[in-house]
Amino acid sequence: MKIRKAVFPVAGLGTRVLPATKAMPKEMLTIVDKPLIQYVVDEAKEAGIEHFIFVTGRNKGVIEDHFDRMYELDATLAARGKQAEIEILARDQSEAGAMSFTRQQAPLGLGHAVWCARDIVGDEPFAVVLPDELVLNAPGCLAQMIEAANKLGEKSNLIAVEEVPAHLTHQYGICGVGKRHGSTMFEVDGMVEKPPKGTAPSNLSITGRYILQSEIFRILETQERGAGGEIQLTDAMIGLARTQRFYGVEFEGERHDCGSKAGFLRANIAFGMARADLRDGLRAEMQHYLERK
């Protein structure tokens, strides 16, 4: 069944990048010249997603504005004949009715945020994309996962995974590795959210891209709080794995955690260097700072 819908949980407070996120949503932090949220929407579009569902919270209204028209801007650019800028705005404009916004009223966790989208998703498989994480690759991470799902051709769930150093496994959801399917996919054999140090079943972390069957919502409905006192998506996936298969996808591409200060800076350099129009200038600037004592 075609994956048509993607859920973007964007209610988080962004405490790791304060004070930038005091009055501005972390999803609007800019990597080069686009906000994070635009990157992940573009990644989803490229993967064939048709409906974009944002689970927002208070102070996140500007995300909705970003995907709307700005009439004053359009009119001024047109009057001044700024064609290149007009094209940039037109490129990012979503189709009418292709976006839905719903609110998570309290920060109860990722599992609860996804559950808030249940009625908009309905009874069909869907993607979950965490906007903190960008993957620099063509094709994008979600497109790779949807291709993997299509190849499997069975009702199943997929999670994007990536190796992390052993001393960091306690910061992530971690999955165990079962039977391998080709070089980049395996059956998931157990999952655990933020395992205490030294107890992780592997060093394969769950990253911010999922393809899930809608039965997850029934489990989330009664899901108890887990790690960090939050309703965890991973715990609900453990429940769903009792009756449905989960596959881990080792995607191609460089993953950037833009929700941390170091990761945010690194992503700006990586995405800047990937841009033909900016690469040379950026390299010269970096050289200058590297040489400075």
User: Based on CB atoms, which residue is closest to ligand G1P, 208 or 272?
Assistant: 208
Shortest spacing between CB 190 and ligand G1P, in angstroms: 13
User: Based on CB atoms, which residue is closest to ligand G1P, 25 or 208?
Assistant: 208
User: Based on CB atoms, which residue is closest to ligand G1P, 77 or 251?
Assistant: 251
User: Based on CB atoms, which residue is closest to ligand G1P, 125 or 226?
Assistant: 226
DSSP strand pairing (245-250 vs 185-193)? antiparallel
User: Based on CB atoms, which residue is closest to ligand G1P, 164 or 185?
Assistant: 164
Shortest spacing between CB 129 and ligand G1P, in angstroms: 11
Helices 279-291 and 261-273: crossing angle in degrees, nearest 10, is 130
User: Based on CB atoms, which residue is closest to ligand G1P, 114 or 149?
Assistant: 114
User: Based on CB atoms, which residue is closest to ligand G1P, 12 or 77?
Assistant: 12
Structure tokens at 148: 């993997």
DSSP the chain: ----EEEEE-----GGGTTTTSSS-GGG-EETTEEHHHHHHHHHHHTT--EEEEEE-TT-HHHHHHTS--HHHHHHHHHTT-HHHHHHHHHHPPPTT-EEEEE-SS---HHHHHHTTHHHH-SS-EEEE-TTEEEE-SS-HHHHHHHHHHHH-SSEEEEEEEE--GGGGGGSEEEEEEEEETTTEEEEEEEEESPPTT--S-SEEEEEEEEE-TTHHHHHHTPPP-GGGS--HHHHHHHHTTTSEEEEEE-SSEEEETTSHHHHHHHHHHHHHT-TTTHHHHHHHHHHHHH--
Shortest spacing between CB 209 and ligand G1P, in angstroms: 9
Shortest spacing between CB 228 and ligand G1P, in angstroms: 7
Shortest spacing between CB 210 and ligand G1P, in angstroms: 9
Interface with ligand G1P (CB under 6 A): 110, 130, 133, 172-173, 193, 205-208, 232-234
Shortest spacing between CB 234 and ligand G1P, in angstroms: 5
Shortest spacing between CB 230 and ligand G1P, in angstroms: 8
Residue of this chain nearest to ligand G1P (CB atom): 173
How far apart CA 142 and CA 133 sit, in angstroms, is 12
